[in-house]
Amino acid sequence: MASISVPIGSVPGQSAPRPRLRVSDYLRWSVDHKIIGVQYMVTAAFFFIVGGTLAMLIRLELLTPNLDVVQTGSQYNTLFSVHGLVMIFLWIIPMMAGFGNYLVPLMLGAKDMAFPWLNAFAFWLIPPAGILMVGSMLVGAPEAGWTQYPPLSTLFSGDGQTLAALSVHLLGISSILGAINFLVTVKNMRPPGMSYWQMPLFVWAIVATSIIVVMATPFLAGALTLLILDRVGGTTFFDATKGGDVLLWQNVFWFYSHPAVYIMVLPGMGILSDVLSVHSRKPIFGYKMIALSSMAIGIVGFTVWAHHMFTSLQPELRIPFMITSMIIAVPTGIKIFSWLGTLWRGKIRFTSAMLFSLGFLSMFVIGGITGVMLAMIPFNLHVHDTYFVVAHLHFVLFGGSVFAIYSGVYHWFPKITGRMLDERLGRLHFALTYIGFFFTFFPMHFAGMLGMPRRVAVYMPEYQGLNATASFGSFLLGISTFLLLYNVIASLRSGRLAGANPWRALTLEWATTSPPPATNFVGDPVLFEDPYGYGTEGASDYLDAIERRFGAPSQPVVVDKPASPAAQGASGD
Amino acid sequence: MNSSNVSSRTVITLIVVGVLLIAGGFIISQATPLIFPVEASAESTQIDQLFRVALLIGGAIFLLVQGVLIYSVWRFRARPGDTTDGPPIHGSTTLEIVWTAIPAVIVMVLTILSYQVWSSIQSVKEDEQLVQVTGARFNWAFTYSTPDPRDAAAELTFKSTELHIYLGRPVLLKMQTQDVIHSFWVPALRMKQDLLPGRTTEYRFTPVAVEGETYPARYPVKCAELCGAAHGEMIAWVVVHETEADYAAWFDQEVDKVLNPPADPVLRGESILASQVYPCHTCHVLSTDTLQWDGKVGPALNGVADRAATSRANATGLAAADYLYQSIHEPGAYLVPGYSNLMPQLGIPECEAWSIVAYLCTLSDSGAPTCTVELPAQCQAAGAPPVEATAEATEAPAEAAAEATPASS
Encode burial over A395-419: b for 16+ CB neighbours within 10 A, e otherwise.
Answer: bbbbbbbbbbbbbbbbbbbbbbbbb
pLDDT digits (tens, 9 = 90+) for A442-454: 999 999 999 999 9
Least confident window among A353-357, A417-421, B66-70, B255-259: B255-259
Give SS3 for B205: strand
Residue B265 pLDDT:
84
Kindly determine whether residue A451 and residue B37, on different chains, have CB atoms separated by under 8 Å: yes
Closest by CA to A108, choosing from A38, A183, A175, A210, is A183
Q: How far is CA A12 from CA A4, A511, A523, in A?
A: 16, 15, 12
**Residue B263 contacts residue B383 (beta carbons within 8 Å):** yes
Kindly determine whether residue B66 and residue A362, on different chains, have CB atoms separated by under 8 Å: yes
d(C-alpha A89, C-alpha A168), whole Å: 7
Rounded to the nearest angstrom, the gap between the alpha carbon of residue A231 and the centroid of all alpha carbons in its chain is 32
Kindly determine whether residue A156 and residue B192, on different chains, have CB atoms separated by under 8 Å: no
Kindly determine whether residue B114 and residue A382, on different chains, have CB atoms separated by under 8 Å: no
Q: How far is A446 from chain B (nearest CA, A)?
A: 6
**Residue B59 contacts residue B24 (beta carbons within 8 Å):** yes
Work out the pLDDT band at B5, boundaries 50, 70, 90.
low
Per-range mean pLDDT, top range of A136-140, B26-30, B224-228? B224-228
Q: Is B124 in the A-facing interface, judged by CB distances under 8 Å?
A: no
Work out the pLDDT band at A96, boundaries 50, 70, 90.
very high
* A104: exposed, middle or buried (Cβ count in 10 Å: 0-12, 13-18, 19+): buried
Closest by CA to A408, choosing from A520, A509, A274, is A274
Q: How far is B63 from chain A (nearest CA, A)?
A: 10
Rounded to the nearest angstrom, the gap between the alpha carbon of residue A392 and the centroid of all alpha carbons in its chain is 17
Per-range mean pLDDT, top range of A84-88, B81-85, B391-395? A84-88
Q: Is B192 in the A-facing interface, judged by CB distances under 8 Å?
A: yes
| Whether the predicted pLDDT of A181 surpasses 80 | yes
Kindly determine whether residue B76 and residue A457, on different chains, have CB atoms separated by under 8 Å: no
Of A287, A312, A333, the CB nearest to B194: A312
- For residue A24, count other CB atoms closer than 10 A to its CB: 6
Residue B224 identity = A
Residue A515: is the preceding peptide bond cis (ω within 30°)? yes
Least confident window among A91-105, A279-293, A499-513, B261-275: B261-275
| Whether the predicted pLDDT of A563 surpasses 50 | no
d(C-alpha A407, C-alpha A202), whole Å: 13
Kindly determine whether residue B90 and residue A145, on different chains, have CB atoms separated by under 8 Å: no
d(C-alpha B30, C-alpha B241), whole Å: 30
Work out the pLDDT band at B397, boundaries 50, 70, 90.
very low
Average pLDDT over residues B263-275: 82
C-alpha R_g of chain B: 31
Q: Regarding predicted confidence, which is higher, A413 or B340?
A: A413
Kindly determine whether residue B65 and residue A362, on different chains, have CB atoms separated by under 8 Å: yes
Q: Regarding predicted confidence, which is higher, A364 or B388?
A: A364
Q: What is the mean pLDDT of chain A?
A: 91
Average pLDDT over residues B237-245: 96
Give SS3 for B147: strand
Q: Is B95 in the A-facing interface, judged by CB distances under 8 Å?
A: yes
d(C-alpha B304, C-alpha A188), whole Å: 74
For residue B76, list chain A residues with Cβ-Cβ distance below 8 A.
280, 343-348
How does strand B201-205 pair with strand B171-177?
antiparallel
Kindly determine whether residue A534 and residue B85, on different chains, have CB atoms separated by under 8 Å: yes
Q: What is the mean pLDDT of chain B?
A: 85
d(C-alpha A36, C-alpha A30), whole Å: 7
Give SS3 for B41: strand
Residue A555 pLDDT:
61
Give SS3 for B348: coil
Least confident window among A355-364, A387-396, A490-499: A490-499
Q: What is the DSSP string of A425-492?
A: HHHHHHHHHHHHHHHHHHHHHHHHHHT-BSS-SS--GGGHHHHHHHHHHHHHHHHHHHHHHHHHHHHH
Kindly determine whether residue A376 and residue B110, on different chains, have CB atoms separated by under 8 Å: yes
The secondary structure of residue A305, as a DSSP letter, is G
Residues above pLDDT 70, as percent of chain B: 91
Q: Which of A324, A377, A462 to mutate to test the interface with B (most CBs of B within 10 A)?
A: A377
Q: Which of B111, B121, B193, B234 to mutate to test the interface with A (most CBs of A within 10 A)?
A: B111
d(C-alpha B55, C-alpha A243), whole Å: 44
Give SS3 for A563: coil
For residue B85, list chain A residues with Cβ-Cβ distance below 8 A.
281-282, 347, 534-536, 539-540
pLDDT digits (tens, 9 = 90+) for A402-434: 999 999 999 999 999 999 999 999 999 999 999
- For residue B154, count other CB atoms closer than 10 A to its CB: 10
pLDDT digits (tens, 9 = 90+) for A294-306: 999 999 999 999 9
For residue B222, list chain A residues with Cβ-Cβ distance below 8 A.
451, 453
Of B77, B89, B231, the CB nearest to A350: B77
Residue A520 pLDDT:
93
Q: Which of A68, A147, A231, A326 to mutate to test the interface with B (most CBs of B within 10 A)?
A: A326
d(C-alpha A78, C-alpha A103), whole Å: 36
Q: Is B223 in the A-facing interface, judged by CB distances under 8 Å?
A: yes
Work out the pLDDT band at A571, boundaries 50, 70, 90.
very low
Q: Which of A236, A314, A385 to mutate to test the interface with B (most CBs of B within 10 A)?
A: A385
Least confident window among A113-117, B3-7, B174-178, B364-368: B3-7
CATH classification number, A35-569, choose in 1.20.210.10, 1.10.599.10, 1.10.3720.10, 1.10.390.10: 1.20.210.10
Q: Regarding predicted confidence, which is higher, B382 or B137?
A: B137
Q: What is the ipTM of this complex?
A: 0.89
d(C-alpha A109, C-alpha A96), whole Å: 20
How many A×B Cβ pairs under 8 Å?
269
Q: Is B86 in the A-facing interface, judged by CB distances under 8 Å?
A: yes
